[in-house]
Amino acid sequence: MDKLIEQFFDVEVMVAVLPTIIQGMWMTLAICAVVIPMGLFGGLFAALGMLSKHRWLRWSMIIFVDFFRAIPPLVLLIFVYAGLPFAGLRISPFTAVAFAFLLNNSAYYGEIFRAGIQSIGFGQSEAARSTGLNASQTMTYVVLPQATRNVLPDLISNTVEVVKLTSLASVVSLGEMLYAADMARSITYNASPLVLVALIYLAALWPLVRLVSHFERRIAH
> In this complex, which beta carbon is closest to another protein, that of residue 134 or of residue 213?
213
Q: How far is the CB of 108 from another protein (least distance, A)?
A: 9
> In this complex, which beta carbon is closest to another protein, that of residue 142 or of residue 160?
160
Q: How far is the CB of 143 from another protein (least distance, A)?
A: 17
What one-character DSSP code corresponds to residue 5? H
> In this complex, which beta carbon is closest to another protein, that of residue 44 or of residue 197?
197
Q: How far is the CB of 50 from another protein (least distance, A)?
A: 11
Q: How far is CA 55 from the centre of its chain?
A: 29
Q: How far is the CB of 15 from another protein (least distance, A)?
A: 18
Q: Which of 136, 151, 142 is nearest to 123 (CA)?
A: 142
Binding site residues, another protein, CB under 8 A? 3-4, 7-8, 66-67, 69-76, 78-79, 82-83, 86-88, 115, 118-119, 160-161, 163-168, 170-171, 178, 181-182, 185, 191, 194-195, 197-198, 201-202, 205-206, 208-210, 213, 216-217, 220-221
Q: Which residues contact 25 (CB under 8 A, 6 or more apart)?
A: 176, 177, 200
> In this complex, which beta carbon is closest to another protein, that of residue 53 or of residue 221?
221
Q: How far is the CB of 134 from another protein (least distance, A)?
A: 27
Q: What is the DSSP string of 75-139?
A: HHHHIIIIIGGGGT----HHHHHHHHHHHHHHHHHHHHHHHHHHHS-HHHHHHHHHTT--HHHII
> In this complex, which beta carbon is closest to another protein, that of residue 138 or of residue 170?
170
Residue 14 to residue 12: CA distance in whole angstroms: 5
Residue 157 to residue 163: CA distance in whole angstroms: 10
